Amino acid sequence: MNSADWSLAFRNLLRNRRRSLSTVAALAIGLAAILLFSGFKANLGYTMLTAYVRAGGHMQIQHRDYYLYGSGNPTAYGISDYQGLVEAIRKDPVLAPLLAVATPMLRFGGLAGNFDAGISRTVIGTGYVAADVQRMRTWNEYQVPITRPQFPLEGAPPEAAIVGIGVARVLQLCAPLHIASCANPAAAAPVLDKAGAALPSDIAGLAQAEHAATSAKTAPSGVKIELLSSSARGAPNVAALDVVAAEDQGFKELDEISVIVQLAQAQKLVFGRAAPRVTSIMVLLNHSADQAKAAARLEALLAERGGAQPLVVRTFEDLNPFYVQSDQMFDVIFRFIFFLIGAIVLFTVGNTMNTAVIERTVEIGTLRAIGLRQSGVRRLFVIEGFVLGCVGTILGLLTAIAIGALVNRSGLTWLPPSSSERLPLQLRVLAEVWNVSMTAIGLVVIATLSAWWPAWRASNLNVVEALRHA
């Protein structure tokens, strides 16, 4: 190719400006649509990743069978001597530079009751180290415009607790906790167990006795609940808790079963005077890109420490299959949109080039008559398709960036599926540079290839017939 070919291609495109502009506009709109959806997908992925990582870390160390069977009896798969393992992780020369937080966590099942209202419900209790969770809540590698409030258990007394807003609603704690849009039911329900039947008299008596003892010792101003759980030996144990806050857990199903307490309180409730254990050790990294390296080192560390406990490292993708499934679903949708827009580009540019061949039949015959080879004719039309693709891609990219910036500053929100929290609508058009580059190059290639068939037809025109076409 030489400068004359490019000059002639540009002149030919400018001869019919309206058709060239309509083709470029179709390319630009198509690319902008793809990139805007890609920006929405990128933001959704970063938002979900941030939410899951803040809640449970990039990875967790668990008993090998806890993930599959732990929901039935979490304490049966507890990690003993977890303090030594946490210290080893924090001091490891490979992990230390990568590490933001390493903290234990205990999850257990129980029954939360508000015996002033005569109501109880099954819950999932979680014990945290409050200071560590507060640090996890501030992690925001991808600058997601969602800030978590101060963790209410930080600096709170040992008997403090947080409940999900759904739990507060069922236990009729909305008014004492000052929760808006939470209507009281017409009548209170009886104390129920997991099967929906009234609690056995001995269990109900144990809970009522704990409630009475606590009420006598504490000021009536606080919001109290009783949390009943089975200890590691199978005996029931009750703790009286001070509810310091009700927090939206993000998902309605989780919001209606969550009770969060201090780790020491959870261990006292579940293990009593026995040696305390935890169900997981959460590991939060400074950067998500280090996850594979950190996971490999953690596995090596577990192998070095040995012991009878069969511990494994599970990443947040392993623990949250919904995240992986959502990411894969949006990848499929993105590919579908790309192929759909690609087909439109293919036919649009092809139609433009076919029309140009018909209009310039005599010109093509003249060029062939003065000695231009067939490859030269093909080259002219392919260059025109390439130029259309490049101009359309540049305009599409600028359009997508402008629309994305406009939407990001608009303050619009949206409600994701299965979520109870509205999120800011953000379009991260340039978040994934590789994806943007490949999409733009792909459309340029499609535009160039779509000009090849008309170019081939033009190069194979009979010279005499082409000149006679006038």
Digit-coded pLDDT (tens) for 266-302:
999 988 888 899 999 999 999 999 999 999 999 999 9
Q: Which of 130-134, 163-167, 303-307, 311-315 has the lowest mean pLDDT?
A: 303-307
Q: Please name every residue paired with 240 in a beta bridge, in sequence order, or none if there are none.
A: 226
Q: Are 140 and 51 in contact (CB under 8 A)?
A: no
If asked whether residues 23 and 164 sit together in one domain, one would say: no
In this structure, the number of other CB atoms found within 10 A of the CB of residue 363 comes to: 17
If asked whether residues 338 and 283 sit together in one domain, one would say: no
| pLDDT at 219 > cutoff 50 | no
Segments in 360-373 forming alpha helices (H): 361-369
**CA max distance for the chain:** 110
If asked whether residues 329 and 439 sit together in one domain, one would say: yes
| pLDDT at 306 > cutoff 70 | no
Question: In terms of residue numbers, what domain contains 300?
Answer: 65-309
Q: Would residue 59 count as lying in a domain?
A: no
Q: Would residue 363 count as lying in a domain?
A: yes
If asked whether residues 34 and 176 sit together in one domain, one would say: no
Q: Could you read off the pLDDT of 46-90 as tens digits, one per residue?
A: 988 998 999 999 999 999 999 888 877 787 888 988 999 999 999
Q: How confident is the model at residue 217 (pLDDT cuts 50, 70, 90)?
A: very low
Q: Would residue 303 count as lying in a domain?
A: yes
Q: What is the mean pLDDT of residues 177-199?
A: 60
If asked whether residues 328 and 304 sit together in one domain, one would say: no
Rounded distance between C-alpha atoms, residue 224 and residue 209, angstroms? 14
Q: Look at residues 256, 284, 309 and tell me which one is the last residue of a structural domain.
A: 309
Q: Give 380-383's long-range contacts (Cβ < 8 A, gap of 24+).
A: 380/5, 380/8, 380/9, 380/12, 380/455, 381/353, 381/356, 381/357, 381/451, 381/452, 381/454, 381/455, 381/458, 382/448, 382/451, 382/452, 382/455, 383/1, 383/5, 383/6, 383/9
Rounded distance between C-alpha atoms, residue 9 and residue 187, angstroms? 81
| pLDDT at 221 > cutoff 50 | no
82, 168, 326 from 184: Cα distances, Å: 43, 11, 36
- The number of folded domains in the chain is 2
Q: Look at residues 255, 285, 309 and tell me which one is the last residue of a structural domain.
A: 309
If asked whether residues 284 and 400 sit together in one domain, one would say: no
Q: Are 255 and 124 in contact (CB under 8 A)?
A: no
If asked whether residues 156 and 195 sit together in one domain, one would say: yes
